Amino acid sequence: MKNDKISVTSDNIFPIIKRFLYSDQEVFLRELVSNATDAILKLKTIAKLKEEIDENLDDLKIKIFLDKEKKTIRILDNGIGMTKKEVEKYINQIAFSGAEEFIQKYKDKKNLYSSSIIGHFGLGFYSSFMVSDKVMIFTQSYKKDSSSVFWVCEGSPKFSLEETEKRDRGTEIILFLNEENKEFLEHDRILELLHKYCKFMPVIISLSSEKEKEIIINNPDPAWKKNPFHLKEKDYLNFYHELYPKQMEDPLFWIHLNIDHPFRLKGILYFPKIDNKIDFQRDKIHLYQNQVYITDNLERIVPDFLSLLRGVIDSPDIPLNVSRSHLQSDTSVKNISKYITRKVSDKLDSMFKTNRENFQKKWKYIKIFVEYGMISTENFFERANKFFLYSTIKNVYFTFDELKEKIKNSQKNKEGKIIFLYTSDKEKQYSYIQNAENRSYEVLILDSPLTVHLIQKLEFFHKNISFVRVDSDHINKLIPPIIIEESFSELSEKEKENLKNFINIHYTSEYKFSIQLENLSKKDSPFLIIIPEFLRRMKEINSFGKEIKNDKEQFYQLIVNTNHTLIKKILNTPFEEKRKNLIQEALNLTLLSKNLLKGKNLTLFIEKKFKDLIKE
C-alpha cells in the first residue's frame, strides 16, 4: 500500500477561489478593508507592548479612493505593513493566515487589540481577483531597516515581487477592475457597500474619488461595544436610528448583551412596536464578528420568534465557513441561542415584576412576539407563562394563574374543566359576549393569528382547563348554570320534524348547515349560528396564514330555539309562501348578525327591506 499526500497547486485552486469562494462578489471590499483593519490593530498591539515604534500613531486610518478613468480602486492603510519575506509568506501562500499567526503569538497577553483581529483563513485578499484583472500591492513594514516592497499579479498563479523606493509605513492595494464589475467604480455603490459591511469597523475609514471629497463612513466605537453603565437612553435611541435610518418610530425598550464566558458575545436587541400580525420585517438583527457585518440571516443563532426584534449581535465565537457567508452549527451556537432567549425572558419578567402598570401599557405591542416565542420555543414558554397577560373585554389584565384562580369555581363545564371564555372579535361576537356578561363570566380578548396554537399548547400542559370561544355554542351549553332550570320543548315530536323539514327546504341548500333543535329560553333568539370549538379550531390550524374565502364551507351549526314565539308562528302558518318568508327573514337576520349574509342574498334582503318600508 502506498501512502502519500494529495497535491493541490495554485494552478488548479486559483480559478476555484476566483469563482466559487464567495457567493457575492461585493464582499471583496469587506475582505480587503478587514485586512487593512487588522494591519492597524496589529500595529496598535505591538505599540502597546512598547516594541520599538517611534512614529506617531494618532492618525491611524484606512483610505479608499476611486478612479473611474483608470478603472481602479485603491485601499490604503497606515498599519503594520509587510517586509518582503512577509509578502512571500502571507500573500504568495494561499490560505496561510497572517492574522491567525499573529493572534497565536500574542494570545497570552491581556487587554491587547489582538483579540479584535478579524482574519482567520488567509483567503480574504484573493477575493480581489473576483472583480479585478490585475492587483498591485505597495507595502512598507513598521520595521525601520526594511525596504518597501512591490507585488503584482494579473489573476494567474504567476506574480512579480521586488523591492522599491521607500514609502510611508502601511500597505496600498490597487485593484484594476475588469469590465464585468465596473459597477464598483461608482461612488454610491461603494458607499452603499461600506455602510453595509464596514459601518462599525474599529478603525476610521474614509472614501473619496476624483470628483467626490473625502468623507468618513464609519463609527468605530458603536454602542454595543461600550459599558452599559456609561450609556443613557438617548445613546441607545441614537444608535437604533443609526442602525435603521429609515425607522421613524423609537423602539419600546432594549436589552444590552455582554458575556465573556463560556463564549464571547456583545450586542443590543431592540423591541419595536409589533402589530397584531406576524410580519418578518426588512430591518432585522445584524450579525457582526469583531465589528464586521456578516449577515442578517440568524436562523441558527436565535430562535425564530426573536427574528421579530432588531439590533446587533457581535461574537467572534460563532463559527462561519471560509467565505464568512454561512453559519456552521456547533455547541457554541446552541449555547448562544439559549443565552439570548434567557436574557430576553429575564428582561420581560423583570419589567413585569418591577412596573406592571408600564408593562401592561406596552403589552399590546409585544403580545404577538411573546405568543410566538411560547408556541415555538419550549424553555421560553415555561418562563413567559408567568408574565403573559390575558386582557378581558373590560380591559382588565390577568396572568394565567390569576385568572384561573378567579374563575375556578364559577366557570366550569359539565366535565368539571375550568372554562376560559374568549372572543376573537368584540363587534362580531357582541351578542354572545353580552350573554356571557349577563352571567358575570370573564371573557378574554384573544385576537391574534397565533391564538389557536397558543391555547392548544396551554391545554396540553394544563389538563383541567379548556379555552372556548363565546360563539361556539349557547352559553348554557358552554358553562352549565349552577342552578339548572328544567327545560322542555313546547313542541311535539311531529312538530319538530315538520320544523326541520321547513327549514331544510327553504334555506340550508345555500349553506352547509347542520340543524339542531334546542329547548332554550323564550328570551333567547329563535335561531343561533355556531361553529363548535373543535371544528373551528381545526379549520383555523389548517388554514394558518391563509385567507378563508368561503364561509359557506365552514360547516356552521344552526341551532333552532323550539320555545321561541316566532317558531310557533312558523309552524302555525297555514300558507306555504308566508312560512317561507318568515323562515327566510329570520335566518337572514341571524346570518346578518354573524356577518354571513353576503353577495346576492344580502342585496335581495336589502331590496326587500326598502320595499317593505315603502309599503308602510
For the residues of 82-136, what is the DSSP string, one character each?
A: --HHHHHHHTSSTT--HHHHHHHHTTT-SS-GGGG----SS-GGGGGGGTEEEEE
In a domain, 382, yes or no: no
Q: What's the rounded Cα separation, in Å, for the pair 179 and 164?
A: 30
Alpha helices in 396-481 (DSSP H): 400-407, 430-438, 451-461, 475-478
Q: What's the rounded Cα separation, in Å, for the pair 137 and 74?
A: 10
* 47-73: pLDDT as tens digits: 877 666 666 677 899 999 999 999 999
User: Per the structure block, which three cell numbers stand in for 597?
Assistant: 349574509
Is the predicted pLDDT of residue 183 greater than 70, yes or no?
yes
In a domain, 315, yes or no: yes
How far is it between the farthest Cα atoms of the chain?
A: 119
Is the predicted pLDDT of residue 451 greater than 70, yes or no?
yes
State residue 93's pLDDT score: 73
Last residue of a domain, one of 478, 508, 531: 478
Same domain, yes or no: 248 and 270: yes
Residue 546's pLDDT band (cuts 50, 70, 90)? low
Between 82-86, 103-107, 153-157, 509-513, the lowest mean confidence (pLDDT) is in 103-107
* 571-595: pLDDT as tens digits: 888 888 888 888 888 888 888 888 8
* 159-181: pLDDT as tens digits: 899 999 888 999 999 999 999 99
Is the predicted pLDDT of residue 129 greater than 70, yes or no?
yes
Residue 524's pLDDT band (cuts 50, 70, 90)? confident
* 420-432: pLDDT as tens digits: 999 999 988 998 9
What's the CATH number where 606 sits? Answer: 1.20.120.790
Between 178-192, 324-338, 491-505, 565-579, the lowest mean confidence (pLDDT) is in 324-338
In a domain, 305, yes or no: yes
Residue 410's pLDDT band (cuts 50, 70, 90)? very high
Question: Is residue 10 a contact partner of residue 94, using CB atoms and an 8 Å limit?
Answer: yes
State residue 590's pLDDT score: 85
Same domain, yes or no: 412 and 474: yes
Phi, psi of 175 (to 5 degrees): -100, 130
Same domain, yes or no: 16 and 148: yes
Is the predicted pLDDT of residue 112 greater than 80, yes or no?
no
In a domain, 3, yes or no: no
Same domain, yes or no: 266 and 409: no
Mean pLDDT of 124-144: 89
Same domain, yes or no: 395 and 331: no
Is the predicted pLDDT of residue 393 greater than 50, yes or no?
yes
State residue 444's pLDDT score: 97
What's the CATH number where 295 sits? Answer: 3.30.230.80
Between 13-22, 80-89, 294-303, the lowest mean confidence (pLDDT) is in 13-22
State residue 324's pLDDT score: 45
**How many structural domains compose the chain?**
4
Same domain, yes or no: 180 and 311: no
State residue 420's pLDDT score: 97
State residue 120's pLDDT score: 41
State residue 367's pLDDT score: 94
Higher pLDDT, 574 or 397: 397
Q: What's the rounded Cα separation, in Å, for the pair 201 and 179?
A: 30
Q: What's the rounded Cα separation, in Å, for the pair 429 and 313?
A: 44
Last residue of a domain, one of 334, 358, 382: 358
Give bridge partners of residue 139 from the DSSP assignment.
Answer: 149, 171
In a domain, 5, yes or no: no
When computed from its CA atoms, the radius of gyration of the chain, rounded to whole angstroms, is 36
Same domain, yes or no: 576 and 608: yes
Same domain, yes or no: 171 and 137: yes
State residue 545's pLDDT score: 53
User: Per the structure block, which three cell numbers stand in for 146?
Assistant: 526594511
Average per-residue pLDDT for the chain: 84
Last residue of a domain, one of 358, 374, 409: 358
Q: Domain residues for 331?
A: 223-358
For the residues of 513-570, what is the DSSP string, one character each?
A: PEEEEE---TTS-SEEEE--HHHHHHHHHHTTTS----GGGS--EEEEETTSHHHHHH
Same domain, yes or no: 72 and 114: yes
Same domain, yes or no: 308 and 415: no
State residue 12's pLDDT score: 52
Same domain, yes or no: 143 and 36: yes
Is the predicted pLDDT of residue 543 greater than 80, yes or no?
no
Mean pLDDT of 225-234: 95
Same domain, yes or no: 207 and 278: no
pTM: 0.82
**Residue whose C-alpha is closest to residue 178's, from 135, 233, 220:** 135
What's the CATH number where 187 sits? Answer: 3.30.565.10
State residue 320's pLDDT score: 65
What's the CATH number where 436 sits? Answer: 3.40.50.11260
Q: What share of the chain is helix, strand, coil (3-state, %, to 5)?
A: 40, 20, 40
Distances (CA, A) of 586 to 565, 566, 591, 598: 12, 9, 9, 15
State residue 587's pLDDT score: 86
In a domain, 483, yes or no: no
In a domain, 171, yes or no: yes
